[in-house]
A and B are shown apart, each in its own frame.
Chain A
Amino acid sequence: MLKEKVDVLIIGSGHSGGMAANILTAKGISCLLLNAGPVVDLHKDRQLKQAYELPYRAFGKPGRLPHVYQANEFNANTWVDEKEVPYTCDPEHSYNWVRVRLFGGRSLFWGRKSFRLSDYEFKAKDHDGFGDNWPISLADLAPHYNRVESIFRVQGNQDGLPQYPDGNFIADPSPWSESMQRFIAAGKPLGIPVCKPRNSLGNDGWASSINLLLPAAFATGKLKAIPNVVVRQLDLDKKTGLVGGVHFVDRHSRREMSVKARVVILAAGCLESTRLLLNSQLANSSGVVGRYLIDQVYGPGVVCSVPEARDGKGSPDLMGGDALIPRFRNISVRSEKFIRGYALTVGSHKGGMDPRNFATYGDDLEKKLNSYHGSGFSMGMMGEVLAHPKHRVTIDKKVVDAWNIPVLHVETQYTDNEFNMVRDAVDTSAAMAEAAGFEVLAKNYQPYPPGYSIHEMGTCRMGNDPKTSVLNQWNQSHDIKNLFVVDASSFVSGGWQNPTMTILALALRSSEYLAEQMRMGNV
């Protein structure tokens, strides 16, 4: 018995898929959402345990999830298993691909940092001549950022910096601690602004598609969702040149099934959407699908101590709080050593110190930990990675996943631009800390492997020219009019900013465009 065509098929239930479902169903369009993994039940799937109760005393099973540095024995079962869904890369140039296939995807566990891209990102080529501009500007996306920031309840302040665009924020009235004020003062002679961070507050502890986007979609009666199905490929109707539907496999039984759709939206996460297009051999007349893979440099940083806070002597107002230093390099003055820039997350900590920050052991270490308790101050880097066409993903036909779907091969590595940026970030952080009167305990100049940031972007970049881009400015495939890709694979450049707000704003804008195109009968 043939089933009817669904109107819009959405693949993926994270932030971008959730936004697409939310917008389209609100406009009366029926959607079917497919998700590769199961729905989470907080009461059934987790329980409070002590570390000593775990089989490996919280070390985690050795060799499990070798590329997910964020994994620990408590949360190991929430990440995609690397043996179940492998990928390949050159061992000399490792890549950390960090995935969640639970319903809601990575929106369940993201870090909440919420920033807009600026025209230093959207029009980066105009600024420094490298790469390509986005086909849109901040002005095009601002109205959508406004709505996203309202849904996610972003808290932050208006700072008036073009590289850190202001937005629709809940004001952050928290005062600066004294240690932060000293750090801010140390930045002033260097022209380095220290600002309040911006975070999504969400609701009831969640800032996820599952609580902020999907419930309204389900409430319309227009959304149906199927968990535990892994999409194998998209089908092209050769007569129309349009995508006709998808083949998927039941995650448990391996039963092969198919569904027809009038429109298909890929929202499976940057590299999974691209993997689907490559395996389907679709939408790639430009040859750009898979290319221009970017993420962000994380790892380099500095750990310090505020001397006045040691031995229990600090006042209650001395320590505490977070800050964000937005990109300050290559704004008005060009650096000779690198283009683009980085941000720094800053923290003043009231709790215990990390024993690793002290070159001692035994009783002496315990004395140090007691003395330095409550005096920690740290800075960590978030750096822009340049987009190169040779940094890419392809299909490794020799390896398949647990459902016999060919896997991705990832080729990328950081370049001199990123490494020079790292040196500047660590040296500048240490200089500011010392100017503020802090003791620098440890510095790290080594970045985590590419991918660690969990901010993979690009590989289906948007653009005005179908010869050099995969999608138009509406996240619509140049080649196939009823195919949209709404996750971070559409990015042209990545900036230093957490991409979530931009992913949501683009998905919102694209979905409203699609709804209008469907209403006019163009799709």
Chain B
Amino acid sequence: MLRRDFFKVLATVSVSARALWGRQATGGNAETQAPSAWRLPARTVIPPIPARVPDAFAVTQANFFSAEQLATLRRLSELMMPARDPYPGAADAGAPEFLDFLIGASPQDRRQMYQTGLNRLSEDARKEFGAPFPEISAEAADKLIRRGLTAWIDGFPPADPYMCFMSVAQQDIRMATMNSEAWNSATISSGERPRGSDFYWSPIDPDIQMCV
């Protein structure tokens, strides 16, 4: 290519780039436009956005458990983790609904354990006390709960299916309650230091093939 043709091409490319820039700008001379956000200097500071989690304003829609199973889980949660001033109980922390979401997304064996366990609570309540679990007294419920509890060590729940359900459900209810936004707010309001914080590791240089 001749030298003058080379520079003609270069100038054409430059003009085209400026024209494109100009189309993207809201108006005026392209050379006085603000730099693209992608190319802001490293020292640029973004004002903080005080983001909130959805639980601060919204409730979880329960879609997995049947109506009776969910009602049983709600009653069980209230008994396992009642409110203790200033901390919310499981119901106020949205724990039953959160567990409906979590267990619904879990592998089959965990889903089955919960459904079987909740069904068993319902059946035992009807058989022994003539009413569904949500409607029996706390003393009656205590009998049904305690036969499912035993001391165990983290990672090794009881082998008996009902005891396994009761033990794991208790742990899950506690965790869903104490790790809730409501619990955190109560902690701050009472002047205590929130616990349960740790370093969260983001995906590290994630595989771009999985993102596309």
List the interface of chain A (C-beta within 8 A of B). 37-38, 40, 44-54, 56-59, 61-63, 66, 69, 73-78, 84, 102, 228, 251-254, 299, 301, 303, 354-363, 366, 402, 441-444, 446, 448
Contacts and interface: CB of A to CB of B under 8 A. Distances in A.
Nearest to A228: B205
A92 to B, nearest CB: 14
A359 B147 CA distance: 10
A313 B105 CA distance: 45
Contacts of A254: 209
A356 B198 CA distance: 22
B151 A362 contact: no
B19 to A, nearest CB: 33
Contact of A361 (B80, B196, B205): B80
Nearest to B150: A359
B116 interface: no
Given A52-B53, A54-B200, A442 B151 contact: yes
Given A52-B180, A402-B209, A361 B201 contact: no
Contact of A62 (B106, B200, B209): B106
B209 A69 contact: no
Contacts of B55: 52
Nearest to A47: B200
B207 A402 contact: yes
Contact of A444 (B81, B153, B197): B153
A63 B184 CA distance: 27
B153 A442 contact: yes
Given A46-B202, A49-B200, A52-B181, A354 B154 contact: yes
B198 A57 contact: no
Nearest to B183: A52
B119 interface: no
B156 interface: yes
Contact of B179 (A57, A366, A446): A57
A52 B184 contact: yes
A54 B201 CA distance: 11
B166 to A, nearest CB: 9
Interface stretch (B22-30, B67-75, B127-135, B169-177): B169-177
B204 interface: yes
Contacts of A52: 53, 55, 179-181, 183-184, 196
24 contacts: A44-B202, A45-B201, A46-B200, A50-B197, A51-B196, A56-B102, A58-B175, A58-B196, A59-B176, A61-B105, A63-B105, A74-B201, A84-B210, A252-B208, A252-B209, A299-B156, A354-B154, A357-B151, A359-B151, A362-B80, A362-B82, A441-B151, A443-B153, A444-B156
Given A49-B197, A56-B102, A57-B98, A77 B203 contact: yes
B110 interface: yes
Given A63-B107, A358-B151, A359-B150, A53 B207 contact: no
A69 B154 CA distance: 11
Query: Which of B202, B204, B207, B210 has the largest count of A CB atoms less than 10 A from its CB?
Result: B204
A442 B178 CA distance: 24
Given A52-B53, A77-B203, A361-B149, A355 B183 contact: no
Contacts of A358: 151
Given A57-B175, A357-B152, A442-B151, A45 B106 contact: no
B41 interface: no
B79 A361 contact: yes
A78 B201 contact: yes
B58 to A, nearest CB: 14
Nearest to B78: A362
Given A44-B202, A361-B80, 18 more contacts: A38-B205, A47-B199, A47-B202, A49-B199, A49-B200, A50-B197, A51-B198, A52-B55, A52-B180, A52-B183, A62-B105, A63-B105, A74-B201, A84-B207, A360-B149, A366-B84, A402-B207, A444-B153
Given A52-B181, A78-B204, A444-B156, A62 B198 contact: no
Contacts of A448: 155
B194 to A, nearest CB: 6
A49 B202 CA distance: 11
B55 to A, nearest CB: 7
B170 A361 contact: yes
A75 B199 CA distance: 8
A84 B209 CA distance: 11
Contacts of B98: 57
Contacts of B183: 52
A362 B79 contact: yes
A237 B45 CA distance: 56
A40 B204 contact: yes
Contacts of B179: 51-52, 54, 57-58
Contacts of B199: 46-49, 74-75
Contacts of A228: 205
B203 A362 contact: no
B145 interface: yes
A69 B105 contact: no
Instruction: Please name the 4 residue pairs, one residue from A and one from B, whose CB atoms are nearest each other, closest first.
Output: A38-B205, A62-B106, A51-B179, A57-B179
Contact of B106 (A37, A38, A63, A442): A63
B73 to A, nearest CB: 14
Contacts of A355: 170-171, 174
Given A63-B106, A303-B153, A48 B202 contact: no
B134 to A, nearest CB: 16
A441 to B, nearest CB: 6
Contacts of B102: 56, 59, 62
A301 B79 contact: no
A359 B149 contact: yes
A500 B66 CA distance: 51
B153 A356 contact: yes
A41 to B, nearest CB: 8
Contacts of A57: 98, 175-176, 179-180
Given A48-B199, A74-B200, A357 B181 contact: no
B197 A356 contact: no
Contacts of A301: 153
B191 to A, nearest CB: 17
A310 B198 CA distance: 29
A363 B105 CA distance: 31
